[in-house]
Amino acid sequence: MTTTLPQSVSALVARASEPEFTAWRRNIVRLGGCTNPIHLVGAATIYDTTTGAALLSYGSGAYGGRLLTACGNRRATVCPTCSALYRADTYQLVRAGLVGGKSVPEAVNGHPRVFATLTAPGFGPVHTRRERDGRVPPCRPRRAGDHCPHGTPAGCRERHPADDPRLGEPLCPRCYDYAGAVLWHAFAGRLWHRFGLELRREVARRAGLSRTEFGEVARLSYAKVAEYQRRGLVHFHAVIRLDGPDGPDSDPPGWATVPFLVDSVRAVVGRVRLTAPGSEVVGPRVLRFGTQVDVRPVTLNGRTAGERPASAAAVAGYIAKYATKGAETAGAVDGRIHHARDMVMLPVRAHVLRMISTCWWLGGLPEFAPLGLRRWAHMLGYGGHFSTKSRRYSTTLTALRQARADHRAEQQRAALGLPEYSTVTVGRWRYAGRGYSPEAALLAASVREGGGRHGA
pTM: 0.85
Domain boundary at 357, 376, 395, which? 395
Same domain, 281 and 309: yes
What is residue 296's three-state secondary structure?
strand
Same domain, 311 and 259: yes
167 occurs within a structural domain: no
User: Which residues are CB-contacts of 428 (< 8 A; sequence separation ≥ 6)?
Assistant: 42, 43, 44
Same domain, 303 and 220: yes
378, with CB counted inside 10 A (0-12, 13-18, 19+), is buried
Q: Which pLDDT belongs to residue 301?
A: 65
Same domain, 25 and 111: no
49 occurs within a structural domain: yes
190 occurs within a structural domain: yes
* Cα 51 to Cα 196: distance, rounded to the nearest angstrom: 51
Question: What does DSSP assign to residue 180?
Answer: H
Nearest alpha carbon to residue 360 among 349, 444, 344, 265: 344
Q: Which pLDDT belongs to residue 35?
A: 86
Query: Long-range contacts for 295-299 (Cβ within 8 Å, ≥24 apart)?
Result: 295/114, 295/115, 295/116, 295/117, 295/262, 295/265, 295/266, 296/114, 296/115, 296/116, 297/113, 297/114, 297/115, 297/258, 297/262, 298/98, 298/113, 298/114, 298/115, 298/239
Same domain, 198 and 339: yes
User: pLDDT-based confidence at 240, cuts 50/70/90?
Assistant: very high
- Tens-digit pLDDT profile for residues 411-456: 877 877 776 667 788 889 998 888 887 777 777 777 777 655 443 3
- Tens-digit pLDDT profile for residues 113-141: 999 999 999 999 999 998 888 889 999 88
Residues spanned by the domain of 421: 7-75+399-449
| 191, pLDDT greater than 90 | yes
**Nearest 5°: phi and psi at 428?**
-130, 115
Nearest alpha carbon to residue 384 among 180, 182, 181, 188: 188
- Could you give the angle at the alpha carbon of 378 between the alpha carbons of 383 and 276, nearest 5°? 45
Domain boundary at 395, 421, 439, which? 395
User: pLDDT-based confidence at 76, cuts 50/70/90?
Assistant: confident
Highest-pLDDT range among 243-257, 316-330, 402-416: 243-257
